[in-house]
Amino acid sequence: MQNTQGTLDYAFFIDPSRCIGCEACVNACAECETHRGHTMIHLEFLDREHTIATVPTVCMHCHRPTCAEVCPADAIKQTEDGIVQSSLKPRCIACSNCVLACPFGVPKMKSDLEQMMKCDMCYDRTSAGKRPMCATVCPSQALAYVPMDTILRMRPEKPTNVFFFGNEHVTTKVFMMAPREVDAINVDITDFMWESQS
Amino acid sequence: MARPPIDEAALVTRYGPHPNYEPPGGWQSEAQDPAQKLVPTHCCFCGQQCGIQLKVRNNQVIGFEPWEEFPFNRGMLCPKGVKRYMQSTHPDRLLAPLLRDASGFRPVPWSEALSFTATRLRQIQERHGRDAVAVFGGASLTTEKAYLLGKFSRVALGTRHIDYNGRLCMVSAGTAYKLVFGVDRAPNPWSDIPLADVMIIAGSNTAECSPITTDYVWRFHDAGGKLIVIDPRMTPITRNADLYLPVRPGTDLALFLAMMHVILRDGLENRSFIERHTTGFEAVAESAKSWEPATAGRITGVPPEAIVKAAHWFAKAERGFALHARGLEHHSKGVENVLGLINLCLATGNIGREGAGCVMITGQGNGQGGREHGQKCDQLPGQRSISDPEARRHVAKVWGIEPNEIPQAGYSAMEIIDAIHRGEIKGLLSICFNPIVSLPDANFTQEALEKLEFLGVIDFFMSETAHYADVVLAGSLQEEEEGVTCNVEGRVIHIRQAVTPPGNALPDSQIVCDLARELGRGHFFSFRSPREIFNELREASRGGIADYYGITYEKIDKQMGVFWPCPSEDHPGTPRLFEGGRTFHPDGKAHFQVTEYRESGDPVNDAYPIYLTTGRVVSHYLSGTQTRRIGALVDQYPEPRVEIHPRLAAAHDIQDKDWVIVTTRRSEMRVQAAVVRTIRPDTIFIAYHWPGSKSVNRLTHRTLDPRSKIPEYKVSACRIRKER
Q: Is B441 left (phi over 0), alpha (psi -120 to 50) or beta?
A: left
Q: How far apart are CA B574 and CA A97, in angstroms?
A: 60
Average pLDDT for B627-637: 98
Q: How far apart are CA A136 and CA B3, in angstroms?
A: 47
CB B540 within 8 A of CB B382: yes
Q: Is B104 left (phi over 0), alpha (psi -120 to 50) or beta?
A: left
Does residue B66 sit at the A interface (CB-CB below 8 Å)? yes
Q: What is the DSSP letter of B154?
A: I
Contact B77 A141 (CB under 8 A): no
CB B329 within 8 A of CB B203: yes
- pLDDT-derived band of residue A196, with 50, 70 and 90 as boundaries? low
Q: How far apart are CA A148 and CA A13, in angstroms?
A: 9
Cβ-Cβ contacts under 8 Å, B208 against chain A: 20, 22
Alpha helix positions (H), B54-160? 79-83, 110-128, 143-151
For A189, residues 6+ apart whose C-beta sits below 8 A from its C-beta are none
Cβ-Cβ contacts under 8 Å, B619 against chain A: 23
ipTM of model? 0.95
Does residue A26 sit at the B interface (CB-CB below 8 Å)? yes
Q: How far apart are CA B22 and CA A109, in angstroms?
A: 22
Does residue A20 sit at the B interface (CB-CB below 8 Å)? yes
Average pLDDT for B439-461: 98
Instruction: Of B622, B678, B612, give the one whose Cα is nearest residue B250.
Output: B612
How far apart, in Å, are the Cα atoms of B293 and each of B83, B250, B303, B596, B709?
Answer: 46, 17, 8, 16, 30
pLDDT at A111: 86
Does residue A48 sit at the B interface (CB-CB below 8 Å)? yes
Does residue A156 sit at the B interface (CB-CB below 8 Å)? yes
DSSP bridge partners of B684: B612
Summarised one tens digit per residue, pLDDT across range B385-402 is 999 999 999 999 999 999
Contact A136 B64 (CB under 8 A): no
Q: Is B224 exposed, middle or buried, given 0-12, 13-18 or 19+ CB atoms closer than 10 A?
A: exposed
Average pLDDT for A3-19: 82
Which residues 237-256 of B are in CB contact (within 8 Å) with A?
237-240
Does residue A30 sit at the B interface (CB-CB below 8 Å)? yes
pLDDT exceeds cutoff 90 at B20 = yes
B656 SS3 class? coil
Q: Is the pTM of this model over 0.90?
A: yes
How far apart, in Å, are the Cα atoms of B458 and each of B1, B180, B512, B643, B692?
Answer: 19, 37, 9, 35, 21
How many helices (H) does chain B have, and how many strands (E)? 24, 28
Which residues 653-672 of B are in CB contact (within 8 Å) with A?
656
CB B266 within 8 A of CB B348: no
Q: How far apart are CA B112 and CA B5, in angstroms?
A: 19
Q: How far apart are CA B31 and CA A33, in angstroms?
A: 8
- In 10 A of CB B375, how many CB atoms? 32
- pLDDT-derived band of residue B3, with 50, 70 and 90 as boundaries? confident
H/E run at residue A158: strand A158-165
Contact A23 B636 (CB under 8 A): yes
- pLDDT-derived band of residue A2, with 50, 70 and 90 as boundaries? very low
Alpha helix positions (H), A23-82? 24-29, 66-69
Cis peptide leading into residue B586 (ω within 30°)? no
> How do beta strands B357-360 and B226-230 pair?
unpaired
Encode burial over B154-172: b for 16+ CB neighbours within 10 A, e otherwise.
bbbbbbbbbbbbbbbbbbb
- In 10 A of CB B453, how many CB atoms? 20
Return the ∠ at Cα B117 (arms to B113 and B118), rounded to 5°: 120
Summarised one tens digit per residue, pLDDT across range B583-616 is 999 999 999 999 999 999 999 999 999 999 999 9
CA B299, B302, B303, B304 torsion-angle sign: negative
How far apart, in Å, are the Cα atoms of B179 and each of B204, B208, B331, B542?
Answer: 22, 29, 18, 22
Cβ-Cβ contacts under 8 Å, B214 against chain A: 18, 20, 139-140
Instruction: Of B73, B26, B88, give the one whose Cα is nearest residue B630.
Output: B88
Average pLDDT for A173-195: 83
The partner residue sitting opposite B66, judged by closest CB among A37, A54, A137, is: A137
CA B393, B396, B402, B405 torsion-angle sign: negative
Q: What type of residue is B620? A: H
The partner residue sitting opposite B79, judged by closest CB among A24, A49, A155, is: A24
Average pLDDT for B138-157: 98
> How do beta strands B133-137 and B427-431 pair?
parallel
- Residue of B209, B239, B634, B637 best to disrupt the A interface, most CBs of A under 10 A: B239
Percentage with pLDDT > 90 across chain B? 98
pLDDT exceeds cutoff 70 at B682 = yes
pLDDT at A194: 74
For B459, residues 6+ apart whose C-beta sits below 8 A from its C-beta are B94, B431, B432, B466, B472, B473, B474, B475, B625
* DSSP secondary structure string for all residues of B468-506: G-SEEEE---GGGS-EEEE-TTSEEEEEPP-SPPSTT--
CB B368 within 8 A of CB B47: yes
DSSP bridge partners of B396: none
Summarised one tens digit per residue, pLDDT across range B328-337 is 999 999 999 9
Summarised one tens digit per residue, pLDDT across range B223-273 is 999 999 999 999 999 999 999 999 999 999 999 999 999 999 999 999 999
> How do beta strands B162-164 and B133-137 pair?
parallel
- In 10 A of CB B36, how many CB atoms? 11
Cβ-Cβ contacts under 8 Å, B234 against chain A: 52
Return the ∠ at Cα A59 (arms to A54 and A61), rounded to 5°: 140
Instruction: Of B573, B392, B478, give the one whose Cα is nearest residue B141.
Output: B478
Summarised one tens digit per residue, pLDDT across range B112-131 is 999 999 999 999 999 999 99
Backbone angles phi, psi at B44, to 5 degrees: -85, -15
pLDDT at A4: 45
Q: What is the DSSP letter of B630?
A: B
A93 SS3 class? coil
Summarised one tens digit per residue, pLDDT across range B262-274 is 999 999 999 999 9
Contact A54 B82 (CB under 8 A): no
Does residue B210 sit at the A interface (CB-CB below 8 Å)? no
Alpha helix positions (H), B129-170? 143-151
Does residue B560 sit at the A interface (CB-CB below 8 Å)? no
Percentage with pLDDT > 70 across chain B? 100
Summarised one tens digit per residue, pLDDT across range A141-182 is 999 999 999 999 999 999 999 999 888 899 999 999 999 888
H, E, C per residue of B406-468? CCCCCCCHHHHHHHHHCCCCCEEEEECCCHHHHCCCHHHHHHHHHHCCEEEEEECCCCCCHHH
Q: How far apart are CA B53 and CA B60, in angstroms?
A: 13
Question: Distance of alpha carbon B410 from its chain centroid, rounded?
Answer: 20
pLDDT at A7: 66
H/E run at residue B200: strand B198-202
- In 10 A of CB A171, how many CB atoms? 17
Backbone angles phi, psi at B637, to 5 degrees: -150, 80
Q: How far apart are CA B685 and CA B327, in angstroms?
A: 12
> How do beta strands A54-57 and A42-45 pair?
antiparallel
Contact A22 B678 (CB under 8 A): no
Which residues 92-111 of A are in CB contact (within 8 Å) with B?
none
pLDDT at A91: 95
Q: Which residue has the higher pLDDT, A11 or A184?
A: A11
Instruction: Of B108, B96, B94, give the one whose Cα is nearest residue B14.
Output: B94
Q: What is the DSSP letter of B672?
A: E
Contact A141 B82 (CB under 8 A): no
- pLDDT-derived band of residue B289, with 50, 70 and 90 as boundaries? very high
